[in-house]
Amino acid sequence: MMTSQSAFEKKEFNPLYILIFKTNITSENDLQNLSSVLNGHSSVLKWNVDTDDTDKVLRIESIENNTEEIIGLLLQSGFYCEELND
């Protein structure tokens, strides 16, 4: 029985938000810590950090426009995080 709508199904019907941040995430350890924050998050479909880039860009595909919430979560976890505007 289907009890709740999965994130994947939600993607079919809802707009996808791409959130872009400048961070200070560099090490494997940082990435692991970030995983524990983002992997369990209900609106985050996919995320990655471009650690080769000077801005250490965090890119999130989200089903909500929850930029402020993400920044809060990262700051709480001890990371630097700022929205990168286009």
Q: Which residues contact another protein by CB under 8 A? A: 11, 15-20, 46, 48, 50, 52-55, 57, 59, 61, 65, 67, 83-86
**Nearer to another protein (CB atom), residue 27 or residue 85:** 85
Terminal CA-CA length for the chain: 43
DSSP 72: H
β-partners of residue 47 are 60
Alpha carbons within 13 A on the beta-carbon side of 50: 9
Nearer to another protein, 28 or 52 (CB): 52
* Smallest separation (angstroms) from another protein to the CB of 62: 10
